[in-house]
Each structure stands twice: as C-alpha cells, then as structure tokens.
Copies of this chain bind each other. A is one copy, B any other.
Amino acid sequence: METEFVDWLLANIPADARLEVPPGDDAAVLRPPAMRRTVVTVDMLTEGVDFILDSNCSPHAVGRKALAVSLSDLAAMAARPEAALVAVALPRKGGDAIGRGLFQGFMELATEHGVTLAGGDTNTWDGPLVVSVTVIGSVLPGRAWRRDGAQPGDHLLVTGPLGGSLLGRHLAVSPRCREAVSIAEKFSVHAAIDLSDGLSLDMARMMRASGTRGVLHLADIPIHADAIRMSRSASDTQSPLEHALTDGEDFELLLALPPSEAQNLLAATQNGCVDLQITMIGTVETGSGLTAIHADGACHPLEPKGFLHAFES
C-alpha cells in the first residue's frame, strides 16, 4: 500500500541540514549553498532498455544505477552533488519489494556522494519498472564545465579504460564526481562530457557543440579488460577497440584542455596527486566530425556510433 511504503521511505531518510523542509510535505525546501549556482539534470531508466530485472540485476542495483547516471552528468559539469529526487512507476505485482530494494541501492550511493534525498513520487501500474532521478548540484558562478568549450589545439583526455560495460560495470557505475571537482579546482578544463552512449558518439557531441573536429589516436584509447573478454566470445563480432569506441555506459569523462594543462593533469595522475587513470587519446582541431588515426599513421573519418533512442513511424 502506497501509504505504508511512503511512511517506510520517510522513516529511512537521514536528516540533513541542507533541508529547511524535509521530504513528506508537498515539496521539500532546500537551503541553496551561498554564492553558488544550482546545477540540475534528470535521467530516466526503463526496464527492458536500460536494465532487465533478473538474477544478475536486482532492484538494489537499479536504484544505485539510476542515481549514478544522473550523478555522472553532474561530474561532467564539475558540480558538487547536493540533493536528488526520485520518481518511480513500480509494477503492481511485487512492487513493494522492488521499491524497497531500489531505495536501498539508491541511498547507498547517495550516502557515498553526500546527496540528500529531497523528494519523490511513488506510483504503481501494470507496466514494467521506470525510474526517473533528478539531481541537484552546485558550482561556483562561471565555473561549470561545458561541452561546447573545446578549442583547436586542446588535448583530449579520457578517464578510465573503456568498453565492455555490459559484462557488469553498467550496473556498478562509479560516477566521477569527486574526481571532477578535484580536477576543476586545480586545472583549466575547456570542455567536458560524460561517456554514457559511447566514446565516439559522446566525443562527436562535444565536437559538434564546440564547432571543432576531434582527432582520435586509436592506439592510445585505453581498452577495458571487459572489452577484450566480450570480443573473445564466439557470438561477438566486434574488436576490443570497437567496443571501447561504441559500447557506452562507461560513465567516464572526456576532457578537452590546453596542452600545458593537459600535461600538468597527466603528471598529477602519474605522481598520485589525482587518483584516477587518465589517458591522452587525441587532439581538437579546426573542422567538424571525427578523424581516426591508426598506429601506422593512416587516417580516415570516423563515423560516431553508440546508443541512441529511435522512433518507429
């Protein structure tokens, strides 16, 4: 029953000094941090597209992922996470247990990132599970990273190894919020985007927004062991590199920085000052689209590929 479920939720939300009015009223009232901007984004996950509830994917994992993908968007803006709201459509049958598991996974990651749950909406219906998470962060005025600031001459850096996330990492996302805030404090970043739909597609989005061309050194792309494992499967037709370029759900960050800043950031990761694998994978040039450069120096235009929602007419 909705009332009991909501009472249980409200009883399990920790108090937070940022809330003038906590969840449970018609809306929550937040004290915005002084002298900072408010950063907002929403992501919706649907069963059958973003996850399938089965023995490999619990409601707990879905709750965690639903928050993680939104937090990854805050990381791409170098914003500090503050609060979240979650709306769910729960299957009528078994929805109570699904809702509780989902909430627990959500709260686990919220606690790790200092996010207070500021509101929600619980629905039941005859359809599959749908979860929509809005996150609210904060950033100093004029200091949010954007995807449209890449400039010719910038170096392109990427966090983490990429590809093969479907083998499990897509459910155990570690949004790069702390790392992004830490990098933003010390280095001048021209543009940033998170890798949700595939390196080539997300890089193409940054280049399109910036009015620039991305040059990608294929041999330098950090390939995840999962991408290699996937390509070894008999039914798989893609190389590890193709997985790294197109799989998506890496939730790593692609950054464009002036060369000197890029070198400083790479040096900081190598001496352990920034606790993150960061790799230089290319440069920003004039023009548009993507250019791939092979190890032997051959180059060709690269068609961006990755995950896109499609309509049928």
Question: Do A32 and B37 have beta carbons less than 8 Å apart?
Answer: yes
With A2-B309, A27-B77, A144-B29: A86-B42 Cβ-Cβ less than 8 Å: yes
Nearest CB in chain B: distance from A33 CB, A = 9
Question: Do A96 and B32 have beta carbons less than 8 Å apart?
Answer: no
Bound Cα distance from A194 to B25, whole angstroms: 10
A38 proximal to B (CB < 8 A): yes
Question: Do B136 and A40 have beta carbons less than 8 Å apart?
Answer: yes
A285 proximal to B (CB < 8 A): no
Question: Do A25 and B77 have beta carbons less than 8 Å apart?
Answer: yes
Bound Cα distance from A148 to B90, whole angstroms: 28
A63 proximal to B (CB < 8 A): no
Question: Do A126 and B94 have beta carbons less than 8 Å apart?
Answer: no
Question: Do A27 and B124 have beta carbons less than 8 Å apart?
Answer: no
Partner of A42, one of B119, B308, B312: B119
Q: Mark A131-145, 1 if CB is under 8 A from B, else 0.
A: 010111101011010
Question: Do A123 and B1 have beta carbons less than 8 Å apart?
Answer: no
Question: Do A308 and B2 have beta carbons less than 8 Å apart?
Answer: yes
Question: Do B37 and A308 have beta carbons less than 8 Å apart?
Answer: no
Nearest CB in chain B: distance from A63 CB, A = 15
Question: Do B309 and A27 have beta carbons less than 8 Å apart?
Answer: no
Question: Do A28 and B41 have beta carbons less than 8 Å apart?
Answer: yes
Residues of B near A38 (CB, < 8 A) are 29-32, 38, 136
Question: Do B25 and A147 have beta carbons less than 8 Å apart?
Answer: yes
Enumerate A195-216 residues with CB–CB distance to B below 8 Å: 209
Interface residues of A, Cβ cutoff 8 Å to B: 1-3, 5, 20-21, 24-32, 37-44, 46, 48-49, 73-74, 76-77, 79, 83, 85-90, 92-96, 118-128, 130, 132, 134-137, 139, 141-142, 144, 146-148, 192-194, 209, 308-313
8 more A-B contacts (CB under 8 A) besides A26-B73, A46-B123, A93-B312?
Answer: A25-B148, A26-B41, A27-B144, A29-B144, A38-B136, A46-B125, A48-B125, A89-B130
